[in-house]
Amino acid sequence: MPFKVQVGPPQIAIHHGQTVLITELDGQINWPSDRGLYFNDTRLLSSWRIYANGEPWDLLTGGATTYYTSEVHLTNRAIKTEEGPIPPHTLGLVISRSIEGGMHEDLDIINNGEKHVRFQLEISMRSDFADIFEVKSGNIVRRGRITTEWLVSKQQLRTTYRNADFMRAVVVSFRNNSTKGVYANGRLSFEVSLPPGGAWHCCLSYTLIDGTVEHPAPRQCVADSHELEHAQTLEDWLRTVLKISTNNEEFYRLYRQALEDMAALRLPISTTGADRMVFMPAAGLPWFVAPFGRDSLIVSIQNVLIYPGFARGALEILGSLQATELDNYRDAEPGKIPHELRRGELAHFKLIPHTPYYGTADATPLYLITLHHAWRATGDRKLLEERLETAERCLLWIDQYGDRDGDGFQEYQTRSPVGYENMSWKDAGEAVVYPDGSLVKGPKALCELQGYVYDAWLRMAEIFDELGKHNRARELRAKAARLFDQFNEKFWDDGIGFYAFALDGDKKKVLTIASNPGHCLWSGIVPPERAAKVVQRLMEPDMWCKWGIRTLSTENPAFNPYSYQNGSIWPHDNAIIAMGFRRYGFNAEAARVARSISEAGSHFLLNQLPELYTSTQRHEPSFPIQYLGANVPQAWAAGSVFM
């Protein structure tokens, strides 16, 4: 049994849709921290503590029981009461929670002592209504007003945040046949009176309010959570997805966990008119529970044989958000597929450009690639007809805006004062570097962007043939052939025997050794006679650490195995590269990469692949080292298992 690596600090995280709860292992939310109850990019609970006559409880054990339920077991310290002290460890408190829209919380206390006990159970709650971007940055600014109202007759505590026309609220309701709650001094309290062996139960329902829309909590107690609509939908989903049979127990556990991660990251979104719901994949927990362009499309490709519904949902939702006008603040251009949509206070008042933000150079060609994958997987010609208009606009964007200067290559550079420096999948500000480690000056033409467009044109040519538009198909094949020749002339470098990472703003090759050219194999833009050199270079010791292929060579001064994208290992990056290896017949090397990611996954808790991990050199016996701040579950990490 391999050593299990915990990703991130010990915590309990459960979620469903846009609702995320992150607590300490004892089920409580300490302040200040990044823990809390989040909904639609706003933290509705920033502190939650529970006491008995002012005394905190001690943790026995706690954790998530499913991705949308949790259970925590606590016991008491010595408690002073009028009737005398309650000895420590004679009371048991179980906190059970389930999420489906709002949150249901059960409190169960049992008296294991020999005497009757009576005490005040107190819950301290606080709401800061902070935007998730500010929580993540640690720079929280209060802009509006918070009010709290206790309705004794309804046993409800309502806390509301208003800033002009932006409103969020959380309403906590209490149900207990024997005890009435009291709210005073910032705490809710209940009198608990128990004989020896006696039990006490209370239900708390957290209704989340987003403007005028209420999202009620599940009414069932958590013990009955198998009756929740979401639980039944999960069972239906697991019956629907592709199943495998294998005698490789390690891979089977990884595959099964990936299925559950993908189920957990299904993001239900109402279509225009809210007459029906579609699913698209959220990017990851806890920071990226939102519609994303690049992430959702790559995940849809990964899952196209597992659950083609992701591709349908992503194509529909992202198509509905396709840009129709120029907007420099949001880096929007007609035909462009968005990068990220947010619904918090900062986005509402346009203090950030995510309404949505369009700072991605690859989502638009990836949209076309996803459309083709979905059609080939399902055989649904109607899907092509429904998305053809969106696809045509994507093709126009590639020509008119993706190629900024008419040289035939895709480049990017933000026009926004708050835009992203980098707009490929390596989107960290310091991710694109010269061989000396300095930052590349834009506009930047990254190698994989050219491959994506080449692939997109060929796939759209096949779609146009299917739709009887043969002239359009011939035009796109001719453009793809020109790009193939031009790319291999301008990006290949005989001196390093490898493709340039990018062309910089002066059209000079950036001869940095990085993982990006592996994506060019996946796209098919590499001629067969050069494929072996690309494969061999990626498997050299400076790139290959036996846990996977690094994002950046160890020989680059900017290399850091603990960095986000300058030397770390990303499972999805490796999966795409492995697919490229296999495309060109390098099956043994593809298997080595796949095995390394699978073995790394077996070392992580629950066999759950994180977003990324560090690239310290592997030795035996050993285990992968976590990256601090990695999202888990994370969609394209989980989806890597399916490629």
List pLDDT tens digits, range 254-295: 999 999 999 999 998 877 655 678 889 999 998 999 999 999
What is the distance, to the nearest Å, from the Cα of residue 598 to the centroid of all Cα atoms in its chain? 20
Q: Do both 301 and 443 map to the same domain?
A: yes
Domain CATH number, residue 147:
2.70.98.40
pLDDT of residue 248: 87
Residue pLDDT, tens place only, 103-152: 999 999 999 999 999 999 999 999 999 999 999 999 999 999 999 999 99
**In whole angstroms, what is the distance from residue 236 CA to residue 444 CA?**
45
**What's the pTM value of the predicted model, to 2 decimals?**
0.95
pLDDT of residue 507: 98
Number of neighbours of residue 168 by Cβ within 10 angstroms: 25
Domain edge (last residue) among 176, 202, 230? 230
Residue pLDDT, tens place only, 212-255: 899 999 988 888 766 656 555 677 778 888 888 889 888 899 99
Does residue 165 lie in a domain region?
yes
Helix axes 447-466, 470-490, angle to 10 degrees: 160
Q: Do both 201 and 317 map to the same domain?
A: no
Q: Do both 189 and 255 map to the same domain?
A: no
H or E stretch at 235:
helix 229-240
Q: For the chain, how are helix, strand and coil distributed in percent, rounded to 5?
A: 35, 25, 40
Q: Do both 510 and 538 map to the same domain?
A: yes
**In whole angstroms, what is the distance from residue 190 CA to residue 156 CA?**
13
Q: Is the dihedral of CA 594, 595, 597, 598 positive or negative?
A: positive
Q: Do both 461 and 548 map to the same domain?
A: yes
Q: Are 415 and 333 a contacting pair, CB within 8 Å?
A: no
Question: How many domains does one find in the chain?
Answer: 2
Q: Are 359 and 420 a contacting pair, CB within 8 Å?
A: yes
pLDDT of residue 238: 80
pLDDT bin (cut points 50, 70, 90) of residue 41 is very high
Helix axes 587-603, 249-264, angle to 10 degrees: 70
Pairing state between β 166-175 and 199-210 = antiparallel
Q: Is the dihedral of CA 423, 427, 429, 434 positive or negative?
A: negative
For 393, the 3-state DSSP assignment is: helix
- Mean of pLDDT over the chain: 95
3-12, 101-110, 150-159: least confidently modelled range: 3-12
Q: Do both 59 and 195 map to the same domain?
A: yes
Q: Are 336 and 397 a contacting pair, CB within 8 Å?
A: yes
Q: Are 331 and 353 a contacting pair, CB within 8 Å?
A: yes
Residue pLDDT, tens place only, 534-551: 999 999 999 999 999 999
pLDDT of residue 28: 98
Residue 521: phi and psi, rounded to 5, are -65, -45
pLDDT of residue 232: 59
Does residue 3 lie in a domain region?
no
Q: Are 444 and 404 a contacting pair, CB within 8 Å?
A: no
| Mean pLDDT, residues 168-172 taken together | 98
Residue pLDDT, tens place only, 501-535: 999 999 999 999 999 999 999 999 999 999 999 99
* DSSP type of residue 150: E
Does residue 622 lie in a domain region?
yes
Domain that holds residue 584: 241-642
* DSSP type of residue 458: H
The set of residues, in sequence order, having a beta carbon less than 8 Å from that of 250 and lying 6+ positions away, is 598, 599, 602
